[in-house]
Amino acid sequence: MGLFDDDFYSTKVPRREGRGQEPPKVLTSRNWSARKSRRSLATWQVSVISSVISAVVAVLLFSLATGQLTQEKAEQPKVIEKVTASSGDPYERIVQAAALVRPAVVSIINHKEDNKELNILDESALGSGVIYKKDDNKAFIITNNHVIEGFGKLEVVTVDGETRKATLVGTDKVSDIAVLSIDAKGITTVAQIGDSSKLRFGETVIAIGNPLGLGDSLTSGIVSYTERTIPVSLNQDGVYDWEQEVIQTDAAINEGNSGGALVDLDGKVIGINTMKISDTGVEGLGFAIPANHVMETAGELEANGKIARSYLGVYSVDLNNPYVPLAEDQRKELNLPTTVKDGVVVLDAVGPAKDAGLQFNDVITKFDNEPITSTLSLRKYLYDHTKIGDDLKITYYRNGEVKQVTVKLLEKQKE
């Protein structure tokens, strides 16, 4: 016996035998004659009864049908009349977005300068770039400052494999942005720049670039965080002296991807890939500079070749740095009141700071009555809240005594 009785699935009527069971009756001509002799209804009666039954059945069926339709209509979900840009097939949209921006992404080769004294040729550095603008004679490319840093000869390889000589237009170490130019002949595609301020958590993005020299490569992921602040060391000395505002993504970004495009599903560049966190047990932490910041910097670099920033002229260490704390004898030498916990200790003063009288072991605590707690906050205040030529009021301590001085800020020269 199976799980179900075989009779459940059989179309045959089973033969059942057993004692006490009567054999099936057989319809004979006698029986037929007997039934036939019974009184039958008149034709008009049959017609009337049939009409009544048909009407009742029709009414019941109509009521049932309309009721069911009404119920089904009530249960239907609301139809979205307008499909948003992010609700399409993501895989097909990745293909379309990549095809749109791919011709505008280039590989960059930085042939670094020869070390003639030691007879050493530095290994070429690889990176990526994005063609964002074109005029009659030149095409302009955005990349990272660290891609072209220490350059000797710069070359750009287009998506079709053509190698062109590149010229540095301008670069900025703080924002890690550089602009190059190449001959515009044959350049037919310029990347569309999107609005990075409209990015959303979880939005699908793609990264296009030249990872490990494997040019014209594509990876995909999502926006893990829209506005992440990452501390960076501009001089690579292990001391964080700047903060970079970045887009966090889990799209794979490797060496050589720097300067490449982070693209949304509309095929618009919403960031320039700049770095990743590479450590044991760490995966999927890549970062891109938001397009809105990039374009603001690129415009000034294209016009002036540099970013003009205010210059104070102090070299300093943090009074309260948990990673590089001051020795106890150094703190005693400063002779600070116990209430002073944070500030910036001046190691050397040059330029405007020296002219204003600042000197070794002065401890800066305020700019224009705003607290200065570290070298990072000092730099951010100068770059974000002052202009070249401004008068800056500085509050500082010298040998335990609070003092104030006004400094006229000059333009920061190239480091």
Residues noted as catalytic:
146, 176, 258
In angstroms, the CA 215 to CA 123 distance is 18
Spatial separation of the C-alpha atoms in residues 298 and 181, rounded to whole Å: 12
Please state, in angstroms and as integers, the Cα–Cα distance from residue 290 to each residue in 199, 222, 227, following that order: 10, 15, 8
Joined tokens for residue 382: 């100068």
Three-state SS at 15: coil
**Cβ neighbours of 184 (radius 10 Å):** 17
Where does 216-331 show beta strands of DSSP type E?
217-232, 242-249, 261-263, 268-276, 286-290, 310-311, 314-318
3-state DSSP helix/strand/coil % of the chain, to nearest 5: 25, 35, 40
Q: Residues 6 or more apart from 91 whose CB is under 8 A from it?
A: none
The 3-state secondary structure of 106-167 reads EEEEEEECEECCCCEECCCEEEEEEEEEECCCEEEEEECHHHHCCEEEEEEECCCCCEEEEE
Residue 213: φ, ψ to 5°: 80, 0
Cα within 13 Å of Cα(309), Cβ side: 22
Q: What SS3 state is found at 217? A: strand
293-299: Cβ within 8 A, 24+ apart: 293/175, 293/196, 293/245, 294/142, 294/175, 294/177, 295/132, 295/193, 297/172, 297/175, 297/177, 298/132, 298/140, 298/142, 298/177, 298/179
